[in-house]
């Protein structure tokens, strides 16, 4: 790892070290449970221990993969492709993690009173993951997909202006990566989304506002975001990276 890679890794890892530690500890706990179940299955016998053992090992594997993903800040860990598709082994490996996320996404989509999206600037919208292209705001020809764990809806990822910029949930991307990607975006006709349209959408959109000169400070950017979408919030991890824009 060269100096530039080390810098990017440190910039992204330090704000999410606690998440890495959480999944590392969960991996160890699940492995201990799995070993106990294996031991009970051998000593006591019977298939009653095998199914929970397999489930425990599956969950442990998912926790281990997540721990590694956060350690190296690898947003492609779920198998998300540039096209917005997700490879089958990416889905299979993380099933224990993805099932609760899909359930949460379903409940939010069906039960929340929050709008699917809100207009941040003229022609720039922020919101949650949509299920089809017909739900996009009128005039949006560029779609910025920040969700690392979900494949994009087929009708949306087939659009010419679809762009995948995955970010791990509650995580970040480096300042240089953000600046490079934002430079590819037009001024208008943009739809920015993650899963719910809160954490990662807030992080990326704040970077967009700062880089394009719509906001002069992080506080000003956050105020604009909350005014547009009240439930949106900047996590501590996002603040840490964005604060560097004003100190370096």
Query: pLDDT category, 8, cuts 50, 70, 90?
Result: low
Contact between residue 128 and residue 197 where contact means Cβ atoms under 8 Å apart: yes
Say what the pLDDT of residue 4 is.
Answer: 59
Say what the pLDDT of residue 110 is.
Answer: 84
Question: What fold characterizes domain 116-246?
Answer: 3.90.190
Q: What is the pLDDT of residues 65-110, one digit of tens each?
A: 999 999 999 999 999 999 999 999 999 999 999 999 999 888 888 8
Say what the pLDDT of residue 42 is.
Answer: 72
Say what the pLDDT of residue 245 is.
Answer: 79
- List beta partners, residue 143: 162, 191
Spans of all domains in the chain:
3-72, 116-246
Residues 6+ apart with CB under 8 A from 212: 182, 187
Distance CA 164, CA 152 (A): 9
Contact between residue 59 and residue 133 where contact means Cβ atoms under 8 Å apart: no
Number of helices (H), then strands (E), in the chain = 10, 5
Residue 142 has pLDDT above 80, yes or no: yes
Alpha helices by DSSP H, listed for 44-149, are: 50-72, 88-93, 95-111
**What whole-number percentage of the chain has pLDDT above 70?**
95
Query: pLDDT category, 38, cuts 50, 70, 90?
Result: confident
Range with lowest mean pLDDT among 7-21, 164-178, 179-193 = 7-21
Q: At what angle do helices 175-182 and 3-13 cross, to 10 degrees?
A: 100
């Amino acid at each position: 790892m060269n100096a530039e890679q080390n810098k990017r890794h440190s910039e992204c890892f330090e704000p999410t070290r606690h998440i890495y530690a959480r999944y590392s500890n969960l991996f160890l706990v699940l492995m201990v449970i799995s070993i106990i179940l294996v031991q009970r299955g051998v000593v006591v016998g019977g298939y009653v221990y095998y199914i929970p053992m397999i489930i425990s090992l599956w969950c442990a594997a998912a926790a281990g993969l997540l721990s590694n993903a956060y350690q190296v800040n690898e947003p492609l860990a779920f198998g998300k492709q540039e096209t917005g598709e997700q490879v089958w082994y990416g889905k299979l490996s993380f099933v224990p993690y993805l099932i609760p996320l899909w359930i949460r996404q379903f409940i939010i989509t069906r039960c929340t009173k929050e709008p699917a999206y809100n207009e941040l600037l003229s022609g720039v919208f922020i919101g949650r993951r949509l299920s089809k292209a017909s739900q996009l705001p009128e005039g949006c020809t560029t779609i910025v997909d920040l969700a690392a764990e979900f494949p994009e809806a087929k009708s949306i990822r087939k659009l010419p202006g679809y762009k995948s910029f995955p970010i791990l949930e509650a995580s970040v991307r480096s300042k240089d990566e953000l600046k490079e990607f934002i430079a590819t975006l037009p001024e208008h006709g943009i739809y920015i989304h993650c899963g719910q349209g809160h954490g990662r959408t807030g992080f990326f959109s704040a970077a967009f506002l700062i880089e394009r000169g719509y906001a002069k400070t992080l506080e000003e950017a956050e105020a604009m975001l909350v005014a547009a979408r009240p439930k949106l919030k900047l996590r501590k991890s996002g603040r840490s990276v964005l604060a560097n824009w004003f100190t370096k």
